[in-house]
């Protein structure tokens, strides 16, 4: 492996910085251009060429582009990079609408030499990987149901954040954060054909939802439920996987600040067949994880596809489309979408 891949980052916010750190650790890749216009963010860049116009990235000799911009810019930038023969890693959500991701897929198909991956890094969290491996081993039987809670409390600039401007973000907490959980639902159950939802902006009265409750069911009768919220008043991540012979409970997420709590996986095995004798409190095993390799693993997997010219299997455009489809159906099936359309 002699080639060193030249990379660019468009958008040097929170995610851009994370991607930069990960790439700096790789022997086979380096950041050669960063595209950013905000002087405060530019000040955080050292020893890398900074440009203000993304066209300079398109015209450069970089092999790989990381699109880390707000949602409304992701589709156009991704498509232009693909058309220029660049490999693209784009943050989630994949644009603002299902049409956005469909447009990106259309361009991807016309440029098959370029790899395209999306940043659904939750699949690579250590607790999630262990849970998936336990589910895949079939030792606890088939999944009956999934239950997810994912939410946060607004920060200092919450009211001014672009995430709450529907023209930039395309949606609220469901599109911003809940999409991760919907992607995980798809990851574990492979898709849904029925989606019911309630969305509300009860607390903040923004143009975008601050709470979303989504209930899903697939053709096999497996069900899932998500509460995505910007008003939990604490950062919270929880995914319960209910199986035939027990349950898995993922709580907390390893993160830079640790604000989602310790990442744990609780494994409980069903003990009783006869409900009348059930104590309902089986012995549990709780695994504590202390190293978040999710950012590294997803980027390494992306480069592995580039280097070995393999198709992107995980977090590819199809996964992004499927997650986006659940978001879109959730918006369509709630009266909140009409309210939003009137605001745009």
Q: Where on the chain is the footprint of other proteins (CB under 8 A)?
A: 26-28, 126, 129-130, 132-134, 136-137, 139, 267, 283-291, 300
Question: Shortest distance, CB of residue 115 to other proteins, whole angstroms?
Answer: 17
Question: Shortest distance, CB of residue 48 to other proteins, whole angstroms?
Answer: 21
Residue 129 or 145: which CB sits closer to other proteins?
129
Question: Shortest distance, CB of residue 31 to other proteins, whole angstroms?
Answer: 16
Question: Shortest distance, CB of residue 167 to other proteins, whole angstroms?
Answer: 40
Residue 18 or 179: which CB sits closer to other proteins?
18
Give Cα 195 to chain centroid, integer Å.
Answer: 19
Residue 20 or 152: which CB sits closer to other proteins?
20
What length is written for the chain?
Answer: 344
User: Strand runs (DSSP E) across the chain, as ranges?
Assistant: 5-10, 29-35, 49-51, 64-67, 87-90, 116-118, 143-153, 194-200, 211-217, 223-229, 231-243, 246-251, 263-269, 284-289
- DSSP tally for the chain: helices H, then strands E: 12, 14
Question: Shortest distance, CB of residue 312 to other proteins, whole angstroms?
Answer: 17
Nearest to 238 by CA among 148, 125, 141: 148
Which residues, including other chains, have CB under 8 Å from residue 12's CB and lie 6 or more apart?
A: 20, 34, 35, 36, 38, 41, 42, 44, 45, 68
Report CA-CA distances (Å) from 303 to 14, 116, 254, 307: 21, 11, 23, 6
Residue 85 or 190: which CB sits closer to other proteins?
190
Interatomic CA distance for residues 193 and 258, integer angstroms: 36
Nearest to 70 by CA among 178, 157, 154, 164: 164
Interatomic CA distance for residues 225 and 238, integer angstroms: 12
DSSP SS3 for 27: coil
Interatomic CA distance for residues 138 and 66, integer angstroms: 36
Question: Shortest distance, CB of residue 257 to other proteins, whole angstroms?
Answer: 21
Residue 133 or 259: which CB sits closer to other proteins?
133
Q: Residue 90's beta-bridge partner residues? A: 67, 118
Residue 58 or 312: which CB sits closer to other proteins?
312
Residue 46 or 291: which CB sits closer to other proteins?
291
Residue 274 or 342: which CB sits closer to other proteins?
274
Question: Shortest distance, CB of residue 289 to other proteins, whole angstroms?
Answer: 6
Question: Shortest distance, CB of residue 287 to other proteins, whole angstroms?
Answer: 5
> CA dihedral in degrees (271, 272, 273, 275; nearest 10)?
-140
């Amino acid at each position: 492996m002699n080639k060193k891949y030249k990379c660019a980052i468009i958008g040097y916010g929170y995610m851009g910085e994370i991607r930069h750190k990960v790439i700096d650790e790789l022997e086979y890749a380096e950041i050669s251009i960063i595209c950013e216009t905000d002087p405060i963010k530019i000040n955080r860049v050292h020893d890398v060429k900074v440009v203000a116009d993304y066209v300079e990235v398109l015209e450069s000799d970089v092999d790989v582009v990381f699109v880390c911009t707000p949602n409304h810019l992701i589709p156009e930038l991704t498509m232009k990079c693909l058309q220029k023969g660049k490999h693209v890693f784009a943050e989630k959500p994949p644009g603002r609408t299902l049409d956005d991701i469909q447009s990106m897929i259309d361009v991807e198909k016309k440029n098959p030499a370029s790899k395209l991956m999306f940043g659904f890094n939750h699949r690579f969290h250590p607790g999630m990987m262990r849970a998936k491996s336990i589910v895949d081993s079939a030792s606890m039987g088939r999944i009956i149901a999934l239950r997810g809670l994912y939410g946060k409390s607004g920060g200092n600039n919450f009211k001014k954040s672009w995430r709450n401007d529907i023209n930039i973000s395309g949606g609220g907490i469901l599109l911003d954060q809940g999409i991760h959980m919907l992607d995980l639902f798809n990851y574990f159950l492979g898709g849904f054909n029925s989606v019911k939802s309630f969305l509300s902006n009860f607390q903040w009265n923004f143009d975008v939802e601050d709470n979303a409750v989504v209930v899903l069911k697939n053709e096999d009768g497996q069900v899932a439920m998500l509460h995505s919220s910007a008003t939990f008043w604490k950062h919270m991540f929880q995914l319960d996987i209910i199986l035939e012979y027990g349950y898995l409970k993922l709580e907390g997420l390893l993160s830079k600040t640790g604000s989602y709590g310790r990442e744990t996986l609780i494994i409980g095995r069903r003990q009783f067949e006869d409900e009348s004798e059930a104590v309902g409190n089986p012995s549990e095993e709780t695994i504590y994880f202390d190293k978040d390799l999710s950012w590294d693993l997803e980027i390494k997997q992306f480069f592995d596809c580039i280097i070995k010219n393999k198709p992107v299997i995980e977090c590819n455009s199809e996964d992004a489309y499927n997650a986006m489809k659940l978001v879109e159906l959730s918006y369509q099936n709630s009266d909140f979408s009409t309210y939003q359309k009137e605001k745009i």
